[in-house]
């Protein structure tokens, strides 16, 4: 069993991707033994009708997900009535998680609205998936230069919300040193492996973050799904660690 907590449906705004059609992406997941995939929507990056984005995502996962896709709704707290989007994710669509993109949506982690968003997530028992970045800043469109999320406020933010279940996605090498240690020690904070791209990166990650806090994430279709799977072949972490990262840790987080 493999759970991929980091995929996206629909089309990336700036170029077509090889698997940006749901049927093709689901087939690729099945071919590689993925049994569950938490799916966000690329539409949530720039679309202002977040309610429509989440409704389409839920329908797409239900109708074309082949039992694999689990929708993860978008929330943009800079838009009016965003609290209603959080409520609908939980009550109307039955979602277990939401995704946030502070850098694309125009707020910082030390803004009051972020505290309010985390409070809403805890109240509705939703996991928050924080995308630190979506692509390498060197490949951004010249009219759409989006900085990586500043994660400096994160340790204090987590202290204020000890019951928050949080996944840092696309984070590798952004949070480091003492700050990384503090965040990794938090009760319900996890990290995906999607951007661990160096040689032996998975082995290096387990030296700074307990393997019990790592989750399998591919960032497909933006990244090749096979690249995430090859990290286990390259580092050979052993059956216990592999099983934990690929499925057990995400299951424990869902049930926390």
* pTM for this model (two decimals): 0.96
Taking the C-alpha atoms of residue 195 and residue 120, their distance in angstroms, rounded to an integer, is 28
The total number of residues shown for the chain amounts to 256
Residue 211 has pLDDT above 80, yes or no: yes
Domains of the chain: 3-255 (3.20.20.140)
Taking the C-alpha atoms of residue 69 and residue 7, their distance in angstroms, rounded to an integer, is 9
Please tell me the predicted confidence (pLDDT) of residue 237: 86
Q: What is the pLDDT of residues 135-172, one digit of tens each?
A: 988 999 999 999 999 999 999 999 999 999 999 999 87
pLDDT, mean of residues 51-69: 98
Percent of the chain whose predicted confidence (pLDDT) is above 70: 100
Q: Hey, what are 192's tokens?
A: 């995906």
């Amino acid at each position: 069993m493999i759970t991929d907590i980091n995929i996206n449906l629909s089309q990336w705004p700036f170029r077509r991707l090889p698997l940006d059609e749901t049927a093709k992406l689901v087939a690729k997941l099945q071919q590689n033994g993925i049994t569950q995939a938490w799916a966000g929507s690329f539409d949530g990056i720039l679309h202002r009708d977040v309610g429509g984005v989440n409704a389409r995502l839920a329908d797409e996962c239900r109708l074309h997900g082949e039992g694999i896709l689990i929708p993860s709704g978008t929330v943009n707290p800079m838009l009016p009535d965003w609290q209603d989007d959080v409520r609908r994710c939980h009550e109307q669509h039955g979602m277990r998680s939401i995704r946030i993109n502070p850098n694309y949506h125009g707020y910082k982690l030390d803004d009051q609205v972020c505290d309010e968003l985390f409070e809403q997530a805890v109240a509705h028992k939703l996991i928050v998936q924080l995308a630190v970045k979506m692509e390498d800043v060197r490949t951004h469109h010249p009219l759409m230069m989006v900085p990586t999320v500043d994660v400096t406020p994160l340790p204090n933010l987590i202290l204020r919300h000890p019951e928050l279940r949080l996944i840092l996605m696309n984070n590798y090498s952004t949070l480091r040193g003492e700050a990384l240690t503090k965040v990794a020690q938090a009760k319900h904070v996890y990290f995906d492996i999607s951007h661990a791209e160096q040689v032996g990166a998975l082995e290096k990650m387990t030296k700074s973050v307990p393997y019990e806090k790592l989750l399998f994430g591919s960032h497909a279709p933006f990244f090749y799904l096979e690249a995430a799977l090859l990290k286990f072949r390259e580092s050979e972490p052993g059956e216990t660690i592999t099983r934990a990262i690929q499925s057990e840790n995400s299951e424990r987080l869902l049930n926390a």
